[in-house]
Structure formats: C-alpha cells, structure tokens
C-alpha cells in the first residue's frame, strides 16, 4: 500500500486510525531514548574484568616504566603496539591519548587554527572551509562550527562521498580539509569502497595545509556476520606521497568503556612530530594506568576482535528489531528508506521530504527521544528535512521495539499530514 | 669560612681538594635524577588501594548515572563535591577534568587565544603579555611561549610577587594575565601572604579580558608539621566584584597517582559557563570511573588530609637530607642561599651570580641530573644565572644524599672558578 497512491479520503481515514494508535501510546507516558550512540547497560558488563587490578601486575610497562608515575608523552609501548595493529601502521606513527578521540580531533583542529598545519595559522586565513560528507556526525560539525570554519555538504552514497565534487572543490585553497567516518559511517553505516579510499589517497588539494580527519571510530565494530573492510588509508596514500594529508583517530570507547577508554591517533612522521611539539606543552602524558589495563586485557587485535563478538551478540537483535519493524511498517509505502549496515552504531532513516522534523517532534510528544532532525547535517540544517539518525543500542530490546513501533507510526502520520497539506 | 674572603692561593688550594673529591664521584658512574617534581616509588605504593574495583560498587555515581557510560560534562557529583571542599567554593563553580591540571591551563589559554576571554580573541590582539612571578614553573612558561605571549618577570619574596610592580604593569591593556603557584610555590615553596592574596583580589587591570591562572597545585601538600595557609582567592575577590579574574586549578597528581589522577578547575559562574561552552564540543566527558574511584577512596577533604600525612612522612626526611647537606656544606660560605619550605615539591637554591649553569653542568658530568639552569624563568633565561630548582622527591634517600653531596661540591667549585675568573 503505497501512501502516495491513496485518495484524500483514504488518507484521512488512515490518518485517523494512526492517530488513535498514536494517542494510545502517548497516554502510556513512555520515556524511551534512541538519541545517542551509547552502548546499552548489558554491553557495559562485558568489560568489567578490565578493572581487575591484577591486570596491572607490578605497575610496570614493557619498557620498565612505572605507569603510576609521570612521564611518557605518547603512550606506553604495549598500548602503542595495540593501536598500531588496529590502525595497521608502525607504532612510531601512533600516539595514545586520553579517553576521547573527539578531544584528539578538537585539539588537532585547535592546533591548526592557532599554529597552522605547516603554513599560516588557519585562524589567520579568513574564510576557510571544510568538506563534510552528509549525512554525518553532529559532533564533527560542532567542532568546525565552533572554530568558525565554513562547512560544505558533500552527498554520500553506498560507496562513500561524491569524490568528483570533492576533487572540484579542493581546487579552492580556502578548502582546508575533510572530516569523515570512513567505516560504518555515522549515521549511514556505509564503508568507503576501495575506489573511494584510493581517490582520497590521491587527492590534490590546492591548499598546502589540507588535512583529512579520518575518524575510524568503528574500525572493529561489526554487527552482522558479514564484515565490511576498509583499505588502509596510509598504505594507499603512500603511493601518492600523500601521507601528510591524513590524521586517523580511533578509541576503545565502544570496545571497553565509553568515557573511560583509551583513544589514539595515527599520522605521518611529520604530523606526529608537529603534534608532539604541541602535546609536550599541553601534558606530561595521558593516563598510563588505563593504557596498561587495556593493553594487558586485550593483548592484541585478536583479543579485541574476540571481545567485539560479545558486543555484536547484544547489538544484532537490536539492529534487527529496528530493521524488522521498518520492513513491517514502512516498506512499500513510498514514505521512507533506510540503511542496513553491517556494523557501527546507527541506522540512517530517510523519511518523506520535509517530514523529518515533524516525525521527531511527534515521537518526542509520545515519549520517544530521537537525535534531533537536521543533526546529521552541518549547522543542523538538513536541506531536504528528511534524514533521521536511529541509535538502537542504548534502550533494552523491549523498549526499542516499542520505540520503533511509535517511530514508524510517526513517520507515516507526518507523511500523510504532508500530503494532505 | 666565607669563600669570598679567601686569597687566590687559598682558593686554588681549596679548588684542588674539591676537584679531587669531584673526580672521585665522577668515576663512580652515578645516575641520579633530581630534575623533576616526581613522587618517589614509595609514594606510589601509598595509593594502590585506589585501584580496588570494590570502590566502584555498582558503577553508579550518586546521581544514579552509570560511570562506565558516556555523559556528564563537568564531572560526577561526588567528585565535584570533593574538589569543591578542596577549593572551598560551591560545587557549581567546579569542573572536573582528566588527569592533568596542566592540560586545563593549556586548554584555557588556547580558548582565550581563539575565542577570547569576553573580548576579542587574544590571538587577534597583537603583542599581548603575561606577568610571571619568578622563579616559577617551567611548564607554565612553556604554555605562554608556545602561544607567543610575551612574558615579564615579576620578582618574588617570601610574601609573594612584587604587587606594586604588578599594579603598575597591568595599567597596560596588552597585559592579559598572571600565571602563578600561590601556595608552596614551584620552586621556592613560599605561600602568598594574606596581604598578597588581597592585593591580587583587588587588582584593577586595564584589560577587560585579564585572567589570573591560580595554579593551586600544592594546596594540601604539607611536608613539615607547620602548615602554611592560603586565603581563598574567590572569597577575597568577591569583595571587589573581581571573581571573573581568577581561574583556579588543582589535581590529585601528587595525592593519588601522577598521570592517573583527577584534575579540576574552580571559576566564577560566567567563566564556568564560557569554559563549558567550549568543553561541550571538545569532549562528551572525562573519565568518570577514575572520578568515582577517587571520590569513594578519599570521601572528603579529611580523607585527603589523612592521606597527605603518609606522603609527608616519606617526603620530610628527603627535604631534610637536602637542607642538612646545604647547612653542612654551604652555610656561611657566602656562595648560596636556599628556601626552607613547609610543603610542596621543591627547594629553591640560589648560587653565586653567574654560577647556576656551570653548577648544573658540573653535576651532569658527575651523573647528577638537575632541572636545567634557567628553567625557573621565562624563556629559560635566568637574568642572574643563579637559581637552581631542587626536586628531592624522586630519588631514594640514599641516592639523594649522594646527589646533594655532589651538588654542594659543584656549587662551591663553580663559585671558586668564578672568583678566580
């Protein structure tokens, strides 16, 4: 039953039925939150053994350094090695930071603003711009907006952003960079194709101080049994002598504990040197006790992969609950399309044009909090007002099923309201 | 025996004796480090129980929030309360950060550079300056130097910096602030007198965006049984409506674990708001598991005070070893003076003018690493080349005794060399 084909009378009838159902839900006084990519309570339990002090042994890192004391700017060796394996780069090209890759990115952009990226400080160059594949991560956009960097939307399909558009736009030397999630992207869950990664690697920006912030937040975060793979950007960039263009970050926030994990950066020799020259003034070193905990608990990439299977086991039924409800309630109605990702933390839902804000509002009134409509676009402005980020991880499966049921109702109600005008 | 009164012959004779002793030490191939304010191995043991996972209970903060998950920008309530008690300010005026107050200060200066402190960004105002009480903390100076902020030396006596000089200099609106350690200062170990704190509180800077970074790193770090006290700067500033001038920081780095502790900031309502508006983009929140650990372990200020007695017990003999050796080897020779602090991490040694660099060099050649001469002054330039920061905490007492013996030798050798010309 494609909604688009119904008569006004049929639509009014349908709206009346849906509104009754909606009001029923509303009267329940529900409080369901699908707004943020937060792991659920059961996922937190998986990593509790990480807090066992036995993991810290005699508090010595592999280089003999006491992790309880000051020192070691770029991270203890075993933790650098762990991230080197994750990034697939030499440990010398890794720096281990505190609990948040968001802070690494923020501080890196701040560094470029104040000190530049090998040229004049970005802050001194008026009117600089960044390219933002959309839909994207609202916290990325918030960083750029805070620093007054103009953001340009780059449409994305299942292979990644529109590379022709990017190639064209980077001829402008005011365009200083791109910020993106190349694997299990936030919110679409797509992974950039090999062809896309190679085109990133081959970029020829006019700006000499151009940087791609390659936020590989979900590099080991598979949900289904089919695992996406992402080409190593540094290996690809090497062929073009372009290693200096890329700043890659990740963290264990969604591997161990959100907010109490360890984050890391991979970059070229020159960028590592520049970043360390800033860091050595900003800190004596990040929390090495937490680094040792993580390194000794996970041991290596295989240890992390095994751990991620436990997360997947919890996440798979949640993702399926959303996808099943979409299939059951929205499919074939001509009012929505959605992604079906193999990993990450989100499903991207596109509703009818001009209906995202209204859908989110209807949900809110019925007690279901979604990520704000528009959040997946720079400045919070979705030009077509149709994208909604679905974060299925935080609620329990029961809550989630109820929430999605309500969401589907709201998608349809807003679509019909829109047609009826 | 005042060296200054000896004949050239007597001096040559004495130098020969000292040099023989020096060479004996040198031949031992020692490796002693008195360079940094690092707690010793025995101090690290004191806090090991902090790592007991039982302290984390069911992982819930007092507001019911699971500390393992994302969220809470400014710190969990019990940790805010703990720092509120330390700072003696309301908890609403506290933000809890990551492991380093150094990073809080760096990020705050960076924020002022990029976004300003209620006026034009500091970076956009050319030729801005900071006042630096000397001798002072090298890492403070490194922050200002990295941001290209001109530093002006302010002489300090046992009551604090020269407030007349400060009052005069802040008539220049290019002077944007002061950075200082008001209690058990680094390196002199002096605590600002009530009169000094009141004059800080009453400052009338020409710049509307003036800030005092009040680095209260050693607020509970007593070593002797006589405890210095510092007036509450916010209480004092309130009388003058000057609360917005002050950014106070501290951390547990030298209470629990250096590099794996918790840091915090106290500021006025307006400054807290401005800092949060930056932070909310820079992070989702700092490590709350570590906050809960600290809050539940220490419970309150009394808990911290009791814990600090254990540190003092270890530190007192070390400070005494240095002071005793100075008394024995340097007193009355007219070649050195030093401070005798009640707390903190350092003793400040002034050698003969023009002799600090040479003393440090001689020590280094004999295997004793000191903080670089000049480090206690902006740009590493001690105008009289006489101040040396002594950090007695890291070596064992035996090592320390040997190191100080060598240091005293080097102080005298360089003084005689200087007189002989």
* Chain B residues closer than 8 Å to A39 by CB: 69
pLDDT of chain B, 421 residues: tens digit per residue: 799 899 999 999 999 999 999 999 999 999 998 988 899 999 999 999 999 999 999 999 999 999 999 999 999 999 999 999 999 999 999 999 999 999 999 999 999 999 999 999 999 999 999 999 999 999 999 999 999 999 999 999 999 999 999 999 999 999 999 999 999 999 999 999 999 999 999 999 999 999 999 999 999 999 999 999 999 999 999 999 999 999 999 999 999 999 899 999 999 999 999 999 999 999 999 999 999 999 999 999 999 999 999 999 999 999 999 999 999 999 999 999 999 999 999 999 999 999 999 999 999 999 999 999 999 999 999 999 999 999 999 999 999 999 999 999 999 999 999 999 9
Whether B264 and B97 have beta carbons less than 8 Å apart is answered as yes
Residue pair B50/B293 in contact (Cβ under 8 Å)? The answer is yes
The burial of A273, by beta-carbon neighbours within 10 Å (0-12 exposed, 13-18 middle, 19 or more buried), is given as exposed
Task: Pick A260's closest partner by Cβ from B44, B139, B288.
Answer: B288
CB A2 within 8 A of CB A333: yes
Chain B CB contacts of A253 below 8 Å: 70
Q: Hey, are the CB atoms on A146 and B278 less than 8 Å from each other?
A: yes
* Chain A closest-CA separation from residue B60 CA (Å): 12
Using a CB-CB distance cutoff of 8 angstroms, which residues of chain A are in contact with residue B259?
A: 67-71, 284-289
Helices (H) and strands (E) in chain B, counts: 13, 13
Q: Is A1 a residue whose pLDDT tops 80? A: no
Pairwise CB contact (< 8 Å): B259 & A285: yes
For residue A142, give how far its alpha carbon lies from the nearest alpha carbon of chain B (Å): 6
pLDDT value at A345 more than 90: yes
Beta bridge partners of B393: none
User: Cβ distance A232 to A88 under 8 Å?
Assistant: yes
**Which ranges of B75-162 would DSSP assign to H, the alpha helix?**
77-87, 101-115, 138-146
Q: d(Cα B409, Cα B19) in Å, to the nearest integer?
A: 8
Chain A CA closest to residue B278: A146
Give the closest of B67, B143, B286 to A281, CB-based.
B143
- Residue in A70, A286, A288 closest to B36 by CB: A70
Encode pLDDT of A114-168 as tens digits.
999 999 999 999 999 999 999 999 999 999 999 999 999 999 999 999 999 999 9
> What are the beta bridge partners of residue A281?
none
Instruction: Give chain B positions within 8 Å (CB) of A287.
Output: 98-99, 259-260, 287, 290
Interface test with A, best of B31, B57, B257, B379 (most A CBs within 10 A): B257
Nearest CB neighbour to B69, from listed A258, A283, A289? A258
Measured between beta carbons, which residues in chain A are less than 8 angstroms from residue B110?
110, 114
Contact A237, A67 (CB under 8 A): no
Q: Report the alpha-carbon angle B294-B296-B301, nearest 5.
A: 75
Searching chain B, which residue's CA lies closest to the CA of residue A37? Answer: B70
Residue A4 has pLDDT above 90, yes or no: no
Residue of B48, B71, B282 with shortest CB distance to A103 = B282
d(CA A195, CA A200): 9
Distance from CA of A64 to the nearest CA of B (A): 13
What's the rounded mean pLDDT across residues A286-293?
Answer: 98
Cβ–Cβ gap B39/A69 under 8 Å: yes
Measured in angstroms, the CA of B80 and the nearest CA of chain A are apart by: 17
Give how far Cα A15 sits from Cα of A363, A404, A407, A413, B337, Å.
16, 18, 15, 6, 88
Which residues in chain B have Cβ-Cβ distances shorter than 8 Å to A53?
48, 51-53
CB spacing of A106 vs B287 below 8 angstroms: no
Is the bond leading into A187 cis (omega within 30 degrees of zero)? Answer: yes
Q: Which residues of B touch A51 (CB under 8 A)?
A: 53, 56, 289
Whether residues A71 and B41 touch (CB distance < 8 A) is answered with no
Residue pair B336/B313 in contact by the 8 Å Cβ criterion: no
**Residue with structure tokens 């006042």?**
B131
Contact residues on chain B for A123, CB-CB shorter than 8 A = 114, 121, 123
Strand partners of residue A96: A264
- Confidence (pLDDT) at B259: 86
Q: A52, A60, A120, A287: which to substitute to probe chain B, counting the most B Cβ within 10 Å?
A: A287
Yes or no: say if A329 and A208 are a contact pair by the CB < 8 Å rule.
no
Rounded to whole angstroms, how far apart are CA atoms A289 and A402?
41
A334 pLDDT tier (thresholds 50, 70, 90): very high
Asked whether the predicted pLDDT for residue A316 surpasses 80, the reply is: yes
DSSP B379: G
Spell out which residues of chain B touch residue A56, defining contact as CB-CB under 8 Å: 51
CA distance, residue A259 to nearest chain B CA (Å): 5
Q: What is each CA distance from B59 to B11, B52, B262, B283, B384, in whole angstroms? A: 68, 13, 17, 21, 55
CA distance A182 to A189: 9
């Amino acid at each position: 039953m494609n909604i688009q084909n119904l008569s006004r009378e049929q639509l009014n009838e349908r709206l009346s039925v849906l509104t009754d159902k909606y009001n029923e839900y509303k009267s329940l006084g529900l409080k369901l939150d699908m707004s943020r990519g937060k792991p659920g309570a059961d996922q937190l339990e998986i990593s509790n053994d990480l807090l066992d002090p036995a993991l810290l042994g005699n508090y010595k890192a592999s280089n003999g350094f006491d992790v309880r004391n000051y020192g070691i700017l770029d991270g203890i060796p075993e933790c650098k090695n762990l991230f080197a394996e994750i990034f697939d780069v030499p440990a010398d090209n890794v720096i281990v930071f505190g609990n948040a890759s968001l802070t690494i990115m923020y501080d890196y952009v701040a560094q470029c603003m104040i000190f530049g990226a090998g040229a004049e400080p970005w802050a001194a160059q008026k009117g600089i711009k960044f390219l933002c594949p959309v839909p994207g991560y609202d916290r990325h956009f918030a960083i750029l907006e805070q620093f007054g960097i103009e953001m340009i939307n780059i449409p994305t399909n299942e292979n990644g952003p529109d590379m022709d558009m990017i190639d064209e736009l980077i001829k402008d030397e005011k365009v200083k960079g791109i910020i993106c999630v190349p694997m299990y992207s936030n919110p679409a869950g797509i992974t950039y194709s090999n062809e896309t990664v190679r085109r990133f690697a081959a970029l020829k920006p006019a700006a000499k101080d151009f940087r791609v912030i390659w936020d590989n937040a979900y590099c080991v975060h598979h949900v289904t049994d089919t695992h996406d793979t992402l080409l190593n950007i540094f290996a690809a960039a090497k062929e073009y002598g372009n290693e200096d263009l890329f700043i890659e970050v990740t963290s264990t926030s969604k591997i161990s504990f959100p907010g109490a994990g360890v984050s890391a950066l991979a970059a070229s020799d020159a960028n590592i040197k520049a970043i360390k020259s800033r860091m050595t003034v900003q800190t004596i070193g990040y929390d090495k006790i937490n680094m040792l905990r993580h390194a000794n608990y996970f041991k290596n990439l295989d240890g992390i992969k095994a751990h991620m299977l436990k997360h997947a086991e919890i996440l798979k039924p949640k993702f399926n609950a959303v996808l099943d409800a979409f299939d059951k309630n929205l499919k074939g109605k001509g009012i929505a399309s959605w992604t079906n990702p193999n990993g990450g933390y989100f499903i991207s839902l596109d509703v009818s044009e001009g209906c995202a804000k209204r859908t989110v509002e209807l949900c809110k009134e019925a007690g279901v909090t979604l990520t704000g409509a528009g959040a997946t676009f720079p400045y919070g402005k979705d030009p077509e007002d149709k994208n909604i980020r679905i974060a299925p991880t935080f609620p329990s499966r029961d809550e989630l099923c109820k929430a999605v049921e309500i969401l589907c109702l709201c998608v349809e109600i807003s679509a019909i309201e829109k047609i009826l005008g």
